[in-house]
């Protein structure tokens, strides 16, 4: 299904006519358009007299994606069947929002289309789509006419600080030259094949959770080389809507370059000058064509819809190391050993903030010069 590229219908011409006619565009019918506006939190009437409110509301909530990108997703949302779910699942893998790095009309339209589909129950057969819809549903305003999805899925925690969520997707689909944005028109095109019979997607087998390491196999927390860093430069990654690129002074001869998947939560300029906690003994890796030499540690909730960086004590200096009582003076693992022995993977389940936002590794408190490391998020995982 192709989108009409007439400028008068892009982008929000897909919901109402830009030329001022007293009618909703034929792209969506009136009731479906109203469901989208309601999901975004608007309250425009379903009669033509409510168009001015719908117009101003959509303008304010639209988001920052390109017209063509949003138009492609609206085209997908217009006509969805279960046969499209596999492709949509791939397209949303690693994405928080569909267009522009912010919740907007494309997300609301896809959510409304899936929630009102006769095949809505099949969404939970697709892990990435389930994660995406679970988050978007939490942002959409409840309304009559839409039955909320109920999910009973545990999501795998992906470290936010170093942009691993993006890296995993890029590695998995390295051979696929089509970008996520390009996947949308392919889905739309597939939905035009009326002779194609929709078949229920096979239920994705949920892998059994890995067994926790034996107590004597858990590394000492001192094997993590965590240091205070000061952000000296920060900018948006040109090729990824999720990543901030940073230069961080960790008390070494030169700043470290680090990629952090926290762009949805922090403004680049606002991070300059802030003190952070850097996990410094990871092997350098390239994330979205940017060399990353560590990870900025953050506290986050289960679906990573809320993130807050760890904050060193106010008087900490660049290069000050995080230590744990009883493990003082012990050397951290070398980067190769970190990877080979899976030290971070074994300690990750123990990295959490307590009810007061104080950072711990199991029962051992993060300490910098004898003072606590904290976060604005309490009772959260650290990654």
Coil/strand/helix, residue 239: coil
The pLDDT score that the predictor gives to residue 293 is 94
Q: Which residue has the higher pLDDT, 319 or 203?
A: 319
- In this predicted structure, what is the pLDDT of residue 46? 39
CA pair distance 10, 344, nearest whole angstrom: 47
For the record, the structure tokens of 340 come out as: 């080979």
0.95 cut: is pTM over it?
A: no
Task: Give 349's contacts (C-beta < 8 A, 6+ positions apart).
Answer: 212
Q: Which 3 state secondary structure label does DSSP give 291? A: strand
Exposure string of 216-242, with b = 16+ CB inside 10 Å and e = fewer, is eebbbbbbbbbbbbbbeebeebeebbb
Q: State whether residue 321 is helix, strand or coil.
A: strand
Average pLDDT over residues 36-63: 49
- Predicted confidence at residue 247, as pLDDT, reads 96
Q: How far apart are CA 218 and CA 221, in angstroms?
A: 9
Average pLDDT over residues 115-128: 85
Are 243 and 237 in contact, with CB atoms under 8 Å apart?
yes
- For the chain, what is the mean pLDDT? 74
Q: Where are the alpha helices (DSSP H) in 273-349?
A: 335-340, 343-347
Question: Rg (Cα) of the chain, in Å, rounded?
Answer: 23
What residue has token string 């990543």? Answer: 243
- 277: closest CA among 160, 159, 161? 161
The pair of three-digit structure tokens given for residue 125, joined into one six-digit string: 């057969």
Q: Is 365 a residue whose pLDDT tops 60?
A: yes
Measured in residues, the chain has a length of 383
What sign does the dihedral 165-166-168-173 (CA atoms) show?
A: positive
Q: Measured between alpha carbons, how far is 354 from 89 in angstroms, rounded to an integer?
A: 34
Phi, psi of 367 (to 5 degrees): -130, 135
In 3D, which of 64, 72, 102, 104 has the Cα closest to residue 88?
72
User: Tell me: domain 215-382, CATH 2.40.50.140, correct?
Assistant: yes
pLDDT at 63 over 50: no
Winning range, highest mean pLDDT, from 42-56, 197-211, 341-355 = 341-355
Q: Over the stretch 248-303, which tens digit does the pLDDT of each residue have? A: 999 999 999 999 989 999 999 999 999 999 999 999 998 888 999 999 999 998 88
Place of tokens 């890995």: 210
Q: Tell me the C-alpha distance between 339 and 299, whole Å.
A: 22
Quick check: 60 pLDDT over 90? Answer: no
Q: HSE on the CB side for 94, CA within 13 Å?
A: 22
> Which is more confident, 184 or 51?
184
**Tokens (6 digits) for 372:** 């606590």
What confidence tens digit (pLDDT) does each residue in 164-179 have?
A: 444 444 454 444 444 4
d(C-alpha 359, C-alpha 20), whole Å: 56
Name residue, tokens 């996947």: 183
- Break the chain into its structural domains and give their ranges: 7-155+176-191, 215-382
Nearest to 105 by CA among 149, 143, 71, 131: 71
């Amino acid at each position: 299904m192709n989108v009409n590229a007439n400028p008068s219908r892009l982008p929000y011409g897909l919901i109402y006519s830009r030329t001022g006619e007293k009618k909703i565009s034929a792209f969506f019918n009136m009731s479906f358009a109203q469901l989208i506006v309601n999901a975004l939190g608007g309250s425009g009437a379903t009669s033509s007299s409510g168009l001015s409110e719908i117009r101003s509301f959509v303008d304010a909530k639209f988001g920052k994606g390109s017209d063509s990108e949003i138009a492609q997703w609206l085209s997908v949302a217009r006509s969805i069947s279960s046969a499209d779910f596999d492709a949509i699942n791939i397209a949303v893998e690693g994405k928080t929002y569909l267009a522009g790095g912010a919740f907007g009309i494309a997300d609301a339209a896809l959510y409304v289309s899936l929630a009102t589909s006769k095949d809505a129950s099949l969404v939970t057969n697709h892990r990435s789509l389930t994660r995406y819809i679970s988050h978007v549903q939490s942002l959409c305003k409840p309304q009559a006419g839409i039955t909320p999805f109920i999910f009973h899925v545990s999501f795998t925690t992906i470290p936010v600080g170093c942009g691993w969520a993006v890296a995993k997707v890029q590695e998995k689909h390295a051979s696929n030259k089509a970008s996520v944005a390009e996947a949308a028109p392919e889905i739309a095109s597939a939905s035009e094949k009326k002779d194609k019979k929709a078949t229920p997607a096979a239920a994705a087998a949920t892998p059994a959770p890995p067994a926790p390491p034996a107590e004597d196999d858990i590394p000492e927390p001192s094997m993590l080389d965590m240091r205070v860093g000061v952000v000296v430069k920060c900018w948006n990654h040109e090729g990824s809507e999720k990543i901030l690129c940073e230069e961080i002074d960790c008390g070494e001869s030169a700043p470290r370059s680090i990629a952090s998947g926290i762009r949805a939560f922090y403004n680049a300029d606002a991070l300059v000058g802030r003190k952070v906690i850097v996990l410094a003994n990871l092997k350098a890796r390239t994330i979205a064509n940017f060399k990353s030499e560590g990870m900025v540690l953050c506290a986050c909730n289960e679906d990573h819809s809320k993130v807050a960086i760890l904050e060193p004590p106010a008087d900490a200096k660049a290069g000050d190391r995080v230590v744990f009582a009883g493990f003082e003076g012990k050397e951290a693992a070398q980067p190769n050993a970190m990877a080979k022995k899976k030290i971070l993977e074994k300690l990750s389940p123990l990295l959490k903030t307590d009810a007061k936002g104080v950072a711990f590794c199991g029962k051992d408190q993060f300490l910098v010069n004898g003072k606590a490391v904290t976060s604005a998020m309490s009772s959260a995982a650290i990654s």
